[in-house]
Chain A
Amino acid sequence: MMIPLLLLCIPLASAIVIWSFPAAFTGIFSKLFAGTQIISLLVIYVLHFYASTTTELQYDMMWFNAMGLHVSLLLSPLSMLFIILTSLVGSIIVLSIPATTSKHVYALVFFMLFALQGVFLAQDGLLFYIFWELALLPIYFIGLVWSDATRATLLKFFVYTVLGSLSMLLGLIYVYLHTDVAGAHAWNYNAMIQAAQALQPQQQYFVFWSIFLAFAIKLPLFPFHSWQPATYVEMPYYGTMLLSGIMLKMGVFGIIHWLFAMVPAAIPSVQQPVLILALIGILYASIIAIQQRDYKRLIAYASMAHVGVIVCGLFSAHVQGIQGALFQSVSHGLTVVGLLLVCDILEHRFGSQTISNLGGIRNTHPWFAVLFLCITMGAVALPLTSSFIGEFLIFNGLFSYSPLIMGLAGISVILGAVYMLRSYQGIMLGQHTANTTATIPKGHYILLTVVMALIILLGLFPKPINDLAASAATTLVHTLKPGI
Chain B
Amino acid sequence: MIALFIIIGNGLLALLAEIFKFQKFIFNITFVLLLAALASNYWAWQHPQAFAPFSNMICFNMLELVLSSLLIAATILWLFIQRASHNHQTFGTDLSSLILFALAGGLLLTAFQNLTTLFIGVELLSIPLYVLAASHKNSADSHEAGFKYLILGAFASALLLFGIALLYGGAASFDINAIQAYLNAQANLPAFVKMGMLLLLIAFCFKVAIAPFHFWSPDVYEGAPMAITAFMSTVAKTASFYAFFKITMVCFNAPHTFWISMLMAFAVLSLILANTSALGQKHLKRLFAYSGISHSAFLLLIIIAQQKQALSVNALIMYTASYMLSGLGAFAILVKHGDVISDYAGFAKRNPTSAFSFSVCLLSMAGIPITAGFFSKYMVFVLLLSSSVSIWVSVIAIVAALIGIYYYIRLITQLYSKTAEEPQGPIQTDNNWIALLCAIALLVIGFFPQSLGGIFTF
CA distance A154 to B311 in the complex (A): 36
B173 interfacial by beta-carbon distance below 8 Å: no
Is the beta-carbon distance between B417 and A170 smaller than 8 angstroms?
A: no
* Chain B residue contacts of A162, Cβ below 8 A: 368, 402, 405, 409
Q: Tell yes or no: A401 within 8 A of B by CB.
A: no
B406 lies within 8 A of A155 (CB): yes
For A144, what are the chain B residues with a Cβ–Cβ distance below 8 Å? 412-413, 416-417
Within 8 A of B (CB), among A46-93: 63-67, 69
Segment of B66-74, B238-246, B374-382 engaged in the interface with chain A: B374-382
Q: How many angstroms from the CA of A65 to the CA of B369 in the assembled complex?
A: 18
Contacts A134-B369, A162-B405; is A173 near B413 (CB within 8 Å)?
no
Given contacts A151-B413, A159-B402, contact A64 B382 (CB under 8 A): no
Chain B residues with CB below 8 A from A182, complex form: none
How far is A173 from B382 in the complex, measured between Cα atoms in Å?
Answer: 6
- With A170-B381, A170-B385: A66-B310 Cβ-Cβ less than 8 Å: yes
Q: Does A163 lie at the interface of the complex (its beta carbon under 8 Å from any beta carbon of B)?
A: yes
Known interface pairs A155-B406, A173-B382; A145-B348 also in contact (CB < 8 Å): yes
Query: Taking the complex as formed, is B454 at the interface, i.e. its CB lies under 8 A from any CB of chain A?
Result: yes
Distance between A64 CB and nearest chain B CB, rounded to angstroms: 5
In the complex with contacts A130-B370, A159-B409, A170-B395, A65-B381 CB distance below 8 A? no
Assembled-state Cα–Cα distance A63/B385 (Å):
22
Q: Of the candidates A65, A129, A177, which one forms a contact with B450 in the assembled complex, judged by CB atoms under 8 Å apart? A: A65
B11 at the interface (CB under 8 A from A): no
User: Out of A65, A126, A136, A174, which one reaches B378, CB within 8 Å?
Assistant: A126
Could you tell me if A137 and B348 are in contact, using CB atoms closer than 8 angstroms?
A: no
Interface check A25, CB cutoff 8 A: no
Q: Tell me the complex Cα distance, A63–B412, Å.
A: 30
| Interchain CA distance A425-B453 in the complex, whole Å | 60
A301: interface (CB < 8 Å): no
Residue in B369, B379, B456 whose beta carbon sits within 8 Å of that of A130 in the complex:
B369
Hey, which chain A residues are within 8 Å of B370, CB to CB? 130, 134
Question: Which of B363, B378, B413 is within 8 Å of A155, CB to CB?
Answer: B413
Residues in B with CB closer than 8 Å to A176 are 382
Q: Which residues of B contact A185 (CB under 8 A)?
A: 386
Contact of A166 among B382, B401, B450, B453 (CB under 8 A): B401
Tell me if A170 and B406 are in contact (CB < 8 A).
no
**Is the CB–CB distance between A151 and B385 below 8 Å?**
no
The smallest C-beta distance from B372 to any residue of chain A, in angstroms, reads 12
Q: How many Å from the CB of A148 to the closest CB on chain B?
A: 8
Chain A, residue nearest B416 (CB): A144
Contact between chains at A159 and B405 (CB < 8 Å): yes
Closest Cβ neighbor of B314 among chain A residues: A66
Q: B385 contacts A177, CB within 8 Å? A: yes
User: By the criterion CB–CB under 8 Å, are A67 and B379 in contact?
Assistant: yes
- Report A184-209 residues with CB < 8 Å from chain B CB: 185, 206
Separation in Å of the A170 CB from the closest CB of chain B?
A: 6
Residues of B within 8 A of A140 (CB): 409
The answer to whether B256 has its CB under 8 Å from any CB of chain A is no
Q: How many residues of A contact B (CB 8 A)?
A: 34
Q: Tell me if B's interface is mostly helix, strand, loop or mixed.
A: helix
Write out the residue numbers on chain B whose beta carbons fall within 8 Å of the beta carbon of A177: 382, 385-386
**CB-based contact B385/A173 at 8 Å:** yes
A133 close to B381 (CB less than 8 A): no
Per-residue contact bits, chain B 403-419, to A (CB 8 Å; 1 contact, 0 not): 00110011011101100
As a 0/1 sequence over residues 156 to 182 of chain A, the CB contacts with chain B under 8 angstroms (1 = contact) are: 001100110011011001101100000
Our pick among A66, A67, A130, A167 for the contact of B398 (Cβ within 8 Å) is A167
Residue B46, interface by CB 8 Å: no
Question: Does the CB pair A173–B405 fall under 8 Å?
Answer: no
Q: Chain B: which residue is nearest A129 at the CB level? A: B369
Distance between A266 CB and nearest chain B CB, rounded to angstroms = 17
User: Given the complex, which residues of A lie within 8 Å of B416, measured CB to CB?
Assistant: 141, 144-145
Contacts of B398 in A (CB 8 A): 166-167, 169-170
Tell me the complex Cα distance, A159–B275, Å.
Answer: 14
Cβ proximity bits A118-131 to B, threshold 8 Å, 1 near / 0 not: 00000000100110
- Identify which of B385, B406, B412, B454 contacts A174 (C-beta below 8 A): B385
Known: A144-B416, A169-B378, A174-B385. A65 touches B401 (CB 8 A): no
A residues 384-425 touching B (CB-CB < 8 Å): none
B414 contacts across to A, CB distance below 8 A: 151
Contact partner of A65 (CB less than 8 A), chosen from B391, B413, B454, is B454
Which A residues lie within 8 Å of B409 (CB)?
140, 155, 158-159, 162
Q: Is the CB of B454 within 8 A of A151?
A: no
Inter-chain contacts of B406 with A (CB < 8 A): 155, 159
Distance in angstroms between the alpha carbons of A385 and B456 in the assembled complex? 58
Interface centre among B314, B382, B406, by most A CB within 10 Å?
B382
Question: Cβ of B196: which chain A residues have Cβ within 8 Å of it?
Answer: none
Q: A130-B369, A159-B402, A170-B394 are in contact. Are A67 and B382 (CB under 8 A)?
A: yes
The residue that A64 contacts in the complex, of B401, B417, B454, with Cβ under 8 A, is B454
Which residues 433-458 of B sit at the A interface, judged by CB distance below 8 A? Answer: 449-450, 453-454, 456-457
Give, as a whole number of angstroms, the nearest-CB distance from A172 to chain B: 10
A5 to B410 Cα, complex, angstroms: 35
Residues in A245-292 with C-beta less than 8 Å from chain B: none
Would you call B453 and A66 a contact (CB within 8 A)? yes
Residues of B within 8 A of A134 (CB): 369-370
Q: Are A64 and B449 in contact (CB under 8 A)?
A: yes
> Which chain A residues lie closer than 8 Å to B374 at the CB level?
130, 133
- Shortest C-beta distance, B439 to chain A (Å), equals 14
A414 vs B229: C-alpha distance when bound (angstroms) = 63
* Given A133-B369, A159-B409: A66 touches B394 (CB 8 Å cut-off): no
Q: CA A151 – CA B410 in complex, angstroms?
A: 8
Query: Which residues on the A side are within 8 Å of B378 (C-beta)?
Result: 67, 126, 169, 173
Could you name 7 residue pairs across A and B whose Cβ atoms are closer than 8 Å?
A63-B449, A64-B449, A66-B314, A130-B374, A136-B368, A155-B409, A159-B405
The 4 A-B residue pairs with the shortest CB-CB distance, nearest first, are A66-B454, A130-B369, A144-B416, A133-B369
Interface residue ranges, B against A (CB under 8 Å): 310-311, 314, 348, 363, 368-370, 374-375, 378-379, 381-382, 385-386, 391, 394-395, 398, 401-402, 405-406, 409-410, 412-414, 416-417, 449-450, 453-454, 456-457
**Given known contacts A66-B454, A133-B368, A170-B394, what 14 new A-B pairs fall within 8 Å (CB)?**
A63-B450, A64-B449, A64-B454, A66-B450, A67-B454, A130-B374, A133-B369, A133-B374, A137-B363, A151-B413, A159-B402, A159-B409, A173-B381, A177-B386
B-binding residues in A (CB < 8 A): 63-67, 69, 126, 129-130, 133-134, 136-137, 140-141, 144-145, 151, 154-155, 158-159, 162-163, 166-167, 169-170, 173-174, 176-177, 185, 206
